[in-house]
Chains A and B, each alone.
Chain A
Amino acid sequence: MEQERKMKAGIECINAGKVFVTPEGEHEVVRNLSFATKENEFLVLFGPGQCGKTTIINMIAGFEDVTSGRILADGKKVEKPEPSRGVVFQNIALFPWMTTMGNVEYGLKIRGVKKEQRRAEAQKYIDLVGLSGFENSFPVQLSGGMKQRVGIARAYCNEPEVMLMDEPFGALDAQTRYLMQEELQRIWSAEKRTVIFVTNNIEEALYLADRIIVLTNCPATIKKEYVIDLPRPRNLVSEEFLALRREITGILDSSQED
């Protein structure tokens, strides 16, 4: 019973696959992908660039159809995007004509939540991501790291059951990236959610993950799975951390050149 409930409350991929039909021919990007999230789990999909990670997120979010297999959310087939699956995008994709507040409250606004109530709610998440004082700034006025904080607050404010994060810190410089990882860890601890987090950075994966699924190069399939039960916040130079890092980097090196 317990097992079943957990399976139902999350995302389940069953032999999911994706083949793009392009003018140059068929292009298989995802093959035979099967995994299921556990409740409030921080699941990291770790794979090399261009291996099909964004495609996987797009399929789970409902932006793209699977071409084989199935993807279930709460036990139901994913057919279109739903507010229960929040997405933080690789290219951030804020509404550039809206202020920070406008972006964060958007989901509540289109659902018809009263102004006072949604402002209060949005403010809570703006504070949570550390953007107090920037409520009325437009995205062009914010730095890359701040923009992605807005992206995270926007997704969180909609109270999704599952958060899908597609290389959210990929475009940031190393310094900001470390900072954002710590912040995300803090935010996630404050507001536990099931998270599927995509990255090609092993340190980021190990710092954040409860579980890491290592993907192969295109077409993406599951190469190996690691449960990471190091205590949080993690020490990036501890013996265990470095050993895991060596191991996972090793299995990737053996499957591809770069």
Chain B
Amino acid sequence: MKEESKENLVCGLCAITSVFAFLLVWYLGCTFTALGKLLPDPITVLIGMWGYIVGTVGKCSLLMHALHSLQRVLIGFLIGSALGISLGLLMGRYRLARAIFNPIFRVIRPIPPIAWIPISIIWFGLGETPKIFLIALAAFANTTLNAMTGAESVDKTVINAAKMLGANEFQIFTTVVIPSAVPSIFAGLQVGISCAWASVVAAEMVKASNGLGWIIQAGMDNNNMTQIISGIIMIGLGGFILTYIMRTIEGVACRWNRSGR
């Protein structure tokens, strides 16, 4: 136990040091080299960001923009991953479902979300719907396969155990196949949430009046480097926080599973 907390302390110190070292290199680069012409130094950026947080960029504060993006991601992610997981579980357990959906899915999956932007605008116009559609698509594409693998690789004797205890097919699916696929499902959710978060930026950069993607796009239009970098930093932080939350949920949901972190 003591050994472990010591290790955590060392890791924490390393993390802090590396962030400061990065900022320092950035600062020195901007002050003493030509980098300064391309990039504002970190102090300028941080002061600018603080201004955006307490003040406004465009219509609202930087944090509100982040929340707008987050809202789109959460709605899209919930829809996309619910569909993806359901389809994946069915394909993993039932050969017929796989025969029907797998070919279509295999072709749709490699198409990157950006490629759907024109179609989504033609279909859904310029409001919230096309953005949520893109995010849902990203979540869907990344959760289906893992759910399928999870449902497929359920230990056969564990299923036999449920059968001999009297479970019917529906009960086997809900009480055995789904829970034993949970670690695998979370592996997909982990990638899914990152991709969904990445897609919101793409979706907002096309046409939006708020959100982190809009901040970057508007920063480019006004040639405001500080605004662009503030947006980028928020995207990085947001993605980091989302995956962190996801991993915490996974830890609780998979505490029965040694391999689940």
Contact = CB atoms under 8 A, between A and B. Distances in A.
Given A83-B166, A138-B256, A110 B179 contact: no
A102 to B, nearest CB: 10
A63 B165 CA distance: 12
A140 B258 contact: yes
Contacts of A106: 162, 165, 175
A87 B256 contact: no
A73 to B, nearest CB: 12
A186 B162 CA distance: 26
Contacts of B180: 95-97
A81 B160 contact: yes
Nearest to A111: B166
B157 interface: yes
B158 interface: yes
Interface string B114-135: 0000000000000000000000
B255 A86 contact: no
Contacts of A93: 155, 157-158, 160-161
A48 B175 CA distance: 36
A95 B157 contact: no
Contacts of B160: 58, 61, 63, 81, 87, 89, 93
A30 B166 CA distance: 27
Nearest to A93: B157
Contacts, number: 73
Interface string B134-166: 000000000000000000000101101111111
Given A89-B157, A93-B161, A110 B257 contact: no
A61 B256 contact: no
A102 B176 CA distance: 12
A52 B180 CA distance: 29
Contacts of B158: 93-96
Given A91-B157, A110-B175, A97 B163 contact: no
Contacts of A82: 164, 166
A110 B182 contact: no
B179 A97 contact: yes
Majority-rule SS of A interface residues: loop
A246 B176 CA distance: 45
A86 B166 CA distance: 10
B44 interface: no
Contact of B163 (A81, A98, A111, A155): A81
Interface string A57-72: 0100111000000000
A85 interface: yes
A98 to B, nearest CB: 8
Nearest to B180: A97
B165 A154 contact: yes
A107 interface: yes
Contacts of B157: 89, 91, 93
Interface in A99-147: 106-107, 110-111, 138-140
B163 A107 contact: no
Given A63-B160, A93-B161, A140-B257, A110 B155 contact: no
A91 B160 CA distance: 12
A81 B257 contact: no
B167 interface: yes
A95 B171 contact: no
A80 interface: yes
Contacts of A139: 256
A158 interface: yes
Contacts of B171: 110
- Name, among A89, A93, A139, the residue most crowded by chain B CB atoms within 10 Å (CB to CB): A93
B156 to A, nearest CB: 9
Interface of B: 155, 157-158, 160-167, 171, 175-176, 179-180, 182, 255-258
10 contacts: A82-B166, A87-B160, A89-B157, A89-B160, A91-B157, A93-B161, A95-B176, A106-B175, A154-B165, A158-B165
The 9 nearest A-B residue pairs measured at CB: A107-B165, A83-B166, A93-B157, A81-B163, A138-B256, A81-B164, A97-B256, A97-B179, A93-B161
